[in-house]
């Protein structure tokens, strides 16, 4: 990781990641899905397993939010690393698609999480 200049936007993006992670499971309610979806059927056939992946992602976000408020590049970088690991596991649980983008998020997961992750990550790459 290179040196980074702190931005007041980092805590805002970290909070957005936290909020999105807490509500991600709501994007896949029981009874949704079907033949037209790009999402894996395991989301609905193994809801406990899917929920565990979402919970693991959400569990990594409070540390990121706290680190973002410290202005400590080392703490933010470590929290990003932990979050990135959980984020990369998510496409395996969500998407049937093979291609995963740079942030580790594909298909249904793309959006708020990926955008805010990239915005923070720009300061640490």
CATH code, domain with 75: 1.20.120
Rounded CA-CA distance 81/84 in Å is 5
Nearest to 112 by CA among 17, 4, 15, 11: 17
Rounded CA-CA distance 86/118 in Å is 15
The whole-number pLDDT of residue 105 equals 42
Establish if 30 belongs to a structural domain. Answer: no
Separation in Å, CA 32 to CA 27, 28, 44, 60, 66: 9, 6, 8, 27, 34
Which domain does 13 fall in, by range? 9-25+36-124
Establish if 114 belongs to a structural domain. Answer: yes
* Residues of the chain with confidence (pLDDT) below 50: 1-2, 97-110, 125
The whole-number pLDDT of residue 115 equals 60
Establish if 80 belongs to a structural domain. Answer: yes
């Amino acid at each position: 990781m290179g040196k980074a200049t702190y931005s007041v936007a980092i805590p805002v993006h970290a909070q957005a990641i936290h909020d999105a992670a807490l509500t991600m499971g709501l994007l896949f309610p029981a009874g949704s899905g079907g033949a037209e979806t790009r999402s894996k059927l395991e989301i609905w056939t193994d809801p406990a397993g899917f929920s565990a992946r979402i919970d693991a992602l959400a569990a990594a976000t409070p540390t990121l939010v706290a680190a973002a408020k410290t202005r400590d590049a080392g703490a933010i970088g470590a929290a990003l690393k932990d979050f990135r690991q959980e984020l990369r596991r998510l496409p395996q649980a969500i998407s049937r698609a093979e291609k995963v983008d740079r942030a580790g998020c594909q298909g249904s997961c793309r959006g708020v999480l990926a955008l805010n992750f990239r915005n923070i990550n720009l300061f640490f790459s």
